[in-house]
Amino acid sequence: MVRRLALLAVGASALVAPVAPGARRTALKAADAQLDGMIGTSIECGDQVWDPLELSQWRDAGEMRACELANGRAAMLGWVGWLWPQVFGLWKGGPVTTTDPIDAIMQVPTVAWAQFIVFCGAIEANKYNWAKGEGPMTDPSKPFFDPLGLYPTDAAGQEKMQLRELKNARVAMIGFAGLFVNHFMPGAVPGLGGFH
């Protein structure tokens, strides 16, 4: 089996164009320049921006950070949505009759899914328009959504809050992945034995 894998690796490497050594160093230097000054350097990541696969040499680091935050925010909501019915119970009179999150997805009416997709599309369209400077909120120092006015006005406070959100987003993604794995492999994640 190992020999077969080695042969596949050798065969696949024959299809890759050779890269000049200087070109790779230049790409990595440009990527490092993008990462300098980004929020996210903390003790958990060795006091550097976390990019273990060096993906910033191929994509814009700011775009990838925005994607990471969007996925992290979705994971935060998903984590709460996964555990809420199992801890506090279901909403009375709703169409969902199970606390199993995977089964519950299939019980949600199609009309509700359509409304959800339109709502998310409207939010994404507004974010896109505002990023281009075509909206009432064109100041990039202000958050997209802050109804309670919790976002600090000073630069140090903003950096601290952004770092907190990034850390919480990463923990939520790991936590949601743990819930998902525990659902399909009960007992695989310590501490989640009572949840499905």
Is 50 within any annotated ligand binding site? Answer: yes
Q: What is the DSSP letter of 126?
A: H
Token representation of residue 174? 């790991």
C-beta neighbour count of 182 within 10 angstroms: 19
Is 130 within any annotated ligand binding site? Answer: no
Is 124 within any annotated ligand binding site? Answer: no
CA angle 35, 40, 44 (to 5 degrees): 120
The widest CA-to-CA distance across the chain, in whole angstroms, is 65
Q: What is the DSSP letter of 36?
A: T
Identify the residue whose tokens are 């987003």: 169
Is 59 within any annotated ligand binding site? Answer: no
Is 164 within any annotated ligand binding site? Answer: no
Q: Which residues, at least 6 apart from 107, have a Cβ–Cβ distance to it below 8 Å?
A: 95, 96, 97, 98
d(CA 89, CA 67): 32
Annotated binding site: which residue ranges?
Answer: 50, 56, 68, 73, 165, 168, 170
Query: Residue ranges for the binding site for chlorophyll a?
Result: 50, 56, 68, 165, 170
Binding residues for chlorophyll b: 73, 168
